Structure 1
Amino acid sequence: MYSVYTVELWSSHTVEAMRRMRVQYNHAWRALFRLPYHCSASGMFAAGRAPGWAALLRRRSASTRAVIFASDNPILCAVRQWPESPQHDTWRKYHVSFL
């Protein structure tokens, strides 16, 4: 279950908007698991084997990117050949190297 729709395509948003979405995502899972408001989000997701907000963004973004890069559609070909696009920036932001 996800409380967001097309999150992998969001490329124009403020830090505050994403913070609010994360908080609402956590609240939705707390309600689903019938947990108190003050419980740990990371513990909740680990116990429920559910993706946290950051994991959700990375997973959905990587999945969409793989579909776009495997497609022969001319519009999607144009998207993948434009590395300065907002969508490429979003992918890079969610998948930074931790070396």
Structure 2
Amino acid sequence: MDDIELRPPTVASAKHTGLVLDIAALRIHNPLARPDEATYPYIRCTDRRVLRLPEPLYRWATETIALDHATHAAGTPPLFPGQVEFGILDGIMYAELL
């Protein structure tokens, strides 16, 4: 997979909005990778763009994937497709489900 890495913008304050994307899916590339192989989370946007998530968002990605599986198992609507806001606030990269 030859993805472009997502580059969230820096936002001036919590009152400002970062980059909002329409996400079709959040997945892990090569989840059963051998030690010499790469594995990383990525998003597939509704416009078919595929963006690799930067390392500071790996934990958010794995927690969100787990939440998505739990909501599916509970019979509630899936998280995706849906919107996610990405940004950097006070030097910390974030992702927020909208």
- Structure 1 length-normalised TM: 0.28
- More strand per residue: 2
Rg larger in 1 or in 2? 1
- More helix per residue: 1
